[in-house]
Structures are given as structure tokens and as C-alpha cells.
Amino acid sequence: MPEKMTLDQLAALYYSYQDIVPSAWLAPLQLPGVCAFWAANQFDESCNWYDLASKTNMLAATGCTFAADVKTPPTTWPGALVPYVELDGTNDYFSIADNVTLSITGAMTIGVWFYIDTGGEKDVNGLWGKGNQAGDTLSYYGYVDDDDLLSVGITSNGDADTTNFYTQISGATAGTWHLAVMRFTPSAAIEGYLMGENSAGNYTSPPASIYDSARNLLLGCTLETAAYGLDGRIAQAWVCQAAVDSNVLDWLYKVQAPLFGRAV
């Protein structure tokens, strides 16, 4: 039989692992109602992206390869050097088929750590989206426009023209890491945040529920339009089946910001 490890040996193993993957990197797993969490140190050889929360929501890659687009840091994890996937803004994105954990119609919160390579040159840098404007199948979405505005929103019946409820947040500049968050509280608010920028938006009269689209969830793209892909990087994304409290979101940003070279 193998020898049992002493407490000192277990502690040494634990702290050596923390040097490779800091506990702050895994902090989204502590969010209430988290049903999906994708972190950029968890890809397979085909660049498909593992879900660390439910273990069932693997994202399939389109246009990305592991060798060319997944960037990993040294094992010491110095500040501002995190693993990420590089997207080209034209045909690189990730997707997963509709399923019960991601077809959220009630309270929800979604967040993405992203970095735009070049600002002001794309009408839409897509971060996430479930559904399409065409065919009235849109559930929820988030993107940055060429004025550095983060737009986050939902629809109540899939029609982006007549039942589109959204808010916009300024400050999504290129050349730095941002944590974008959308929180939906039924009948109360749709809130968007650029954590660390002291920038937020709030739509205060939303519907009671989000449209239940049968379309795929996309990461790094929105409105199922390849040209609306992100020209930049994504390091993490997560989805919660809950309206996560502002104090918890503040805590998450403060523990993760140093990894991305952001001051707290």
C-alpha cells in the first residue's frame, strides 16, 4: 500500500498547487447559484472549454485552436499575466447547445473577464449572447460598441425590436482587462457593471421573465453573427441562476483584480 502523507506533506502539496492556480482564480465557484464557470486554463486539445461548475456545459470552439489561440502563463502566475484565449473578431467564438441550466428565465447574473485589443474599430465586440435578433429568438446578450459602451440586456418574447430591455455602461476601453457583469432581478432591474471602473447602468422596469430561447449560448460573440465577435481576449466567464448580491460581486472583483493587473 502507498504510504500515507503527513499533514506537513499535505500542506506543502496544497500550497504548491496554489502557486500554480491561485485560489482567487477559482473564486467564481463560490458564487451563489453558479451553474457554469469557464476558466482559460481548462481546455482540451481541440480547444473545447471545460465547465468547472456543473461539469456538463462544455463550450465547443469555432475558429480557435489550442496551439494558436490559448495563452498560458508561467507557473508563478505573476500579476497581469493570466491564461486567456485570443479571439480574432471575425469567426472565433465558443458555443453550447440549449439546455436547462442555461435557459434561465428568472433571476440570473453573468460575468466575463475580457480584454479588447483595439478600441473604436468595431461596431460590436460580442461578449455573450443566447439567441438571434433575426427570427425573434433572443434571450440575453452583452457586447461592447465602438464608443466603448458595454450594453447588456434581455428580451421578454425574443423580439429585439419591441421587447428589448437593456442598459449601457461607459468605460470599456481597449488595452486593459475588464470584468463585465449583467444582473437580472425579475420585475425589478437589469443592471450592468464594469467592475473596477465605478461604472454601472440600471433599467428599472424590466419584465418578470426572460424569453426562453432554444438557441445556443455563445461566448465571444453575440446575435449569432460572426462579425459581432470579440476582437480580443477572454480569461473567464460564469453564469449564475441567481441575482448575485452587489457585496458579493465587489468581493469577487477585489480578490481577482490583482491577477489581471488591476488596482483594488
Instruction: Dump pLDDT digits (tens) for 179-220.
Output: 999 999 999 999 999 998 878 899 998 999 999 999 999 999
From 220, 208, 247, select the one nearest 31 (Cα to Cα): 247
pLDDT digits (tens, 9 = 90+) for 111-168: 999 999 986 678 899 999 999 877 889 999 999 999 999 999 999 999 988 888 999 9
Lowest mean pLDDT among 37-51, 68-82, 149-163, 222-236: 68-82
pLDDT at 11 over 60: no
Mean pLDDT of the chain: 88
CA end-to-end distance (rounded Å), the chain:
48
Residue with cell 489550442: 66
pLDDT recorded at residue 77: 57
Region 52-72: mean pLDDT is 93
What pLDDT band is residue 79 in, cutting at 50, 70 and 90?
Answer: low
pLDDT at 20 over 70: no
Domain positions in the chain are: 30-260
Q: Which helix (H) or strand (E) holds 179?
A: strand 177-185
Alpha-carbon Rg for the chain in angstroms: 18
Quickly name the fold that domain 30-260 has: Jelly Rolls (2.60.120)
Q: Is pLDDT larger for residue 105 or for residue 72? A: 105
